[in-house]
């Protein structure tokens, strides 16, 4: 791989301009340098270098594998401290950071290169601050130091360097260039990923299953008293392994097994939040906006005929169609507020994943002037696919009835680039990995005619993607 001297000189010059600008304006400046590098693969980049960036790394792969982004290290981190204005604050901070950056990008039409902010928001704005989510709190975002983007069969390498008004020593610059070369040499195509050894089988601890069913029963009772129309209740499942969980192997398994899902992983200190979700919250491409209503579920059939029957039944099932419609109504309303014009399918379609079918209605629109992706996240989250209807009542029911802390589960996770394009998904079919332990989450939309036992079975199906990838197939 060409780690070229020409690039080294360019980067050095750029850093010097960054330092000068930072000094003059008395604020931090991000210097971003983009190169096109044939044959560098985002996953490979992660697996070859993860040991040097154990506390800060992320991976993103969209549902069609059109776009892969992997990041290592943090040039700068944004922790969410003021929960009340978290979307506005992140949006403003990002806008400012971009305005103050120096970007060398010969490929201005390519999305997801140059400075990219990656991260997520916690599900609820009221957090119990449990030990489980101590490394994520209300949400966390960072701009990676090094990033690989694979898009439309091309590969790009971005390096982001933060320059402060204090300047930078010659040795620091040398160190940065050395690290860059080391990473690029490591990411060599010949360094193919292999699962070192099979993961040990976990001990799966199903703690509160009967209590969860009781909670669902209580919720249904309240729904029948017209307290709310829908609430999404989730449960947690704990896995304990003999050895530390191999996160790269887990990521690889999700990639292999969940072909048409978004694969995400976000590391903060010793914890990694990872999953394979089918559900887009919002995507921004210039002024074009895309969202997806995904709610209402049926398991896959055992045979092809069976599977077709499942789909047909789901498309005609009153209970599932009701669950779905709350989501369509809410997302449509949010898009009507934020868009000049919108369009959506007239009736739900079927979205099929490895383990499950969902009712699916895509929604599209043209954003009004100056609306950022964060404006959309703020207006959309939580949709009734993850919260309920009405939103605030449902949120309170979730706080009262659920037996664990949601943290980042079901929250918006994704990225935005320096031209303010990006995508957020809802972080379901996910789990939190810490050392030898994994905590997985799955929930379902409870409506008046829900059956608690059936909803329990639905959560089992939704645990499968993470369970299979971790080798604990208790619900197969
Ligand atoms: C809440 C989850 O999934 C959501 C609930 C669904 C349902 O109840 O039918 C379907 C898709 C998701 O919007 C989850 O997977 O944890
Ligand atoms: Mg459901």
Say what percent of the chain tops pLDDT 90: 86
When comparing pLDDT for 169 and 285, which is higher?
285
Length of the chain: 476
What confidence category does residue 170 fall into, taking pLDDT thresholds of 50, 70 and 90? confident
Distance between CA 58 and CA 60 in Å, rounded? 7
Distance 442 CA to ligand 1 centre (A): 7
Could you tell which of 264, 297, 446 is best to mutate to test the pocket of ligand 1, judged by most ligand atoms within 8 Å of the CB?
A: 297
Q: Of all atoms in ligand 1, which is nearest to the CA of residue 295?
A: 10
Average pLDDT, integer, range 198-224? 90
Q: Is the pLDDT of residue 250 over 50?
A: yes
Q: Of all atoms in ligand 1, which is nearest to the CA of residue 324?
A: 9
Q: Is the pLDDT of residue 195 over 80?
A: no
Q: Of all atoms in ligand 1, which is nearest to the CA of residue 383?
A: 13
Which pLDDT belongs to residue 1? 47
- What's the pLDDT tens digit per position in 395-438? 999 999 999 999 999 999 999 999 999 999 999 999 999 999 99
What confidence category does residue 206 fall into, taking pLDDT thresholds of 50, 70 and 90? confident
Which pLDDT belongs to residue 127? 76
Residue identifier of the C-alpha nearest atom 12 of ligand 1: 295
Q: Where in the chain is the domain with CATH 3.60.120.10?
A: 203-470
- What's the pLDDT tens digit per position in 94-114? 999 999 999 999 999 999 999
Q: How far is CA 176 from the centre of its chain?
A: 29
- What's the pLDDT tens digit per position in 23-62? 999 999 999 999 999 889 999 999 999 999 999 999 999 9
Task: State the CATH architecture for 203-470.
Answer: 4-Layer Sandwich (3.60)
Residue identifier of the C-alpha nearest atom 5 of ligand 1: 444
Question: Does residue 297 have its Cβ closer than 6 Å to ligand 1?
Answer: yes
Q: Is the pLDDT of residue 252 over 90?
A: yes
ipTM for the predicted complex comes to: 0.99
Distance 291 CA to ligand 1 centre (A): 16
Q: Of all atoms in ligand 1, which is nearest to the CA of residue 445?
A: 8
Question: Does residue 455 have its Cβ closer than 6 Å to ligand 1?
Answer: no
Question: Does residue 351 have its Cβ closer than 6 Å to ligand 1?
Answer: no
From 187-191, 353-357, 365-369, the region with the lowest mean pLDDT: 187-191
Question: Does residue 373 have its Cβ closer than 6 Å to ligand 1?
Answer: no
The model carries a pTM of: 0.97
Distance 466 CA to ligand 2 centre (A): 18
Distance 454 CA to ligand 2 centre (A): 9
Q: Of all atoms in ligand 1, which is nearest to the CA of residue 441?
A: 16
Distance 362 CA to ligand 2 centre (A): 18
Question: Does residue 63 have its Cβ closer than 6 Å to ligand 1?
Answer: no
Q: Is the pLDDT of residue 329 over 90?
A: yes
Q: Is the pLDDT of residue 191 over 80?
A: no
Q: Is the pLDDT of residue 189 over 80?
A: no
From 8-22, 277-291, 309-323, the region with the lowest mean pLDDT: 8-22
Average pLDDT, integer, range 222-233? 98
Question: Does residue 237 have its Cβ closer than 6 Å to ligand 1?
Answer: no
Question: Does residue 361 have its Cβ closer than 6 Å to ligand 1?
Answer: no
Question: Does residue 234 have its Cβ closer than 6 Å to ligand 1?
Answer: yes
Distance 234 CA to ligand 1 centre (A): 9
Catalytic residue numbers, as ranges:
230, 279
Which pLDDT belongs to residue 198? 61
Q: Is the pLDDT of residue 261 over 90?
A: yes
CB proximity list for 169: less than 8 A, separation 6 or greater: none
Which pLDDT belongs to residue 83? 87
What confidence category does residue 194 fall into, taking pLDDT thresholds of 50, 70 and 90? low
CB proximity list for 106: less than 8 A, separation 6 or greater: 34, 36
From 17-31, 84-98, 117-131, the region with the lowest mean pLDDT: 117-131
Distance 356 CA to ligand 2 centre (A): 11
| pLDDT, the chain, mean | 94
Question: Does residue 299 have its Cβ closer than 6 Å to ligand 1?
Answer: no
- What's the pLDDT tens digit per position in 432-463? 999 999 999 999 999 999 999 999 999 999 99
- What's the pLDDT tens digit per position in 269-296? 999 999 999 999 999 999 999 999 999 9
Q: Is the pLDDT of residue 196 over 60?
A: no
When comparing pLDDT for 39 and 195, which is higher?
39
Which pLDDT belongs to residue 187? 82
Question: Does residue 295 have its Cβ closer than 6 Å to ligand 1?
Answer: yes
Q: Of all atoms in ligand 1, which is nearest to the CA of residue 232?
A: 1
């Amino acid at each position: 791989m060409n780690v070229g001297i020409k690039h080294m000189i360019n980067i050095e010059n750029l850093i010097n301009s960054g330092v000068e600008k930072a000094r003059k304006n008395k604020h931090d400046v991000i210097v971003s340098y983009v190169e096109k590098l044939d044959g560098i693969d985002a996953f490979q980049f992660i697996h070859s270098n993860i040991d040097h960036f154990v506390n800060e790394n992320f991976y993103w792969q969209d549902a069609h594998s059109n776009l892969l982004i992997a990041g290592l290290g943090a040039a700068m981190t944004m922790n969410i401290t003021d929960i009340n204005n978290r979307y506005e604050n992140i949006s403003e901070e990002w806008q400012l950071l971009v305005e103050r950056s120096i970007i060398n990008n010969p490929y201005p039409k390519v999305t997801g290169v140059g400075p990219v902010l990656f991260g997520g928001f916690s599900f609820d704005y009221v957090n119990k601050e449990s030990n489980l989510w101590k490394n994520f709190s209300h949400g966390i975002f960072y701009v990676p130091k090094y990033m690989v983007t694979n898009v439309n069969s091309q590969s790009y390498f971005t390096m982001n360097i933060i320059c402060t008004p204090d300047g930078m020593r010659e040795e620091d610059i040398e160190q940065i260039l050395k690290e860059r070369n080391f990473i690029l040499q490591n990411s060599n195509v010949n360094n193919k990923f292999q699962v070192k050894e099979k993961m040990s089988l976990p001990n799966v601890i199903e703690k509160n299953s009967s209590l969860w069913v009781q909670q669902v029963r209580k919720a249904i009772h309240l729904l029948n008293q017209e307290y709310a129309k829908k609430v999404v209740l989730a449960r947690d499942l704990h896995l304990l392994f003999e050895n530390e969980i191999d996160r790269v192997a887990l990521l690889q398994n999700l990639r292999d097994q969940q072909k048409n899902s978004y694969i995400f992983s976000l590391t903060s200190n010793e914890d990694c939040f990872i999953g394979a979700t089918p559900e887009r919250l919002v995507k921004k491409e210039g002024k074009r906006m895309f969202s997806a209503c995904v709610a209402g579920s049926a398991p896959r059939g055992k045979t092809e005929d069976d599977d077709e029957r499942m789909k047909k039944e789901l498309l005609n099932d009153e209970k599932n169609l009701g669950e779905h419609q709350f989501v369509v109504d809410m997302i449509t309303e949010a898009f009507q507020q934020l868009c000049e014009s919108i369009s959506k399918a007239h009736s739900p379609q079927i979205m099929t994943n490895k383990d499950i079918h969902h009712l699916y209605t895509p929604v599209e629109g043209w954003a009004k002037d100056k609306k950022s992706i964060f404006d959309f996240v703020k207006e959309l989250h939580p949709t009734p696919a993850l919260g309920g209807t009405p939103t605030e009542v449902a949120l309170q029911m979730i706080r009262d009835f659920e037996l664990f802390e949601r943290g980042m589960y079901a929250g918006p996770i994704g990225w935005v680039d320096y031209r303010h394009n990006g995508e957020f998904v809802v972080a379901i079919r996910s789990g939190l990995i810490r050392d030898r332990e994994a905590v997985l989450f799955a929930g379902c939309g409870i409506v008046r005619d829900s059956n608690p036992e059936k909803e329990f079975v639905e959560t089992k199906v939704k645990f499968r993607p993470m369970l299979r990838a971790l080798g604990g197939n208790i619900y197969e």
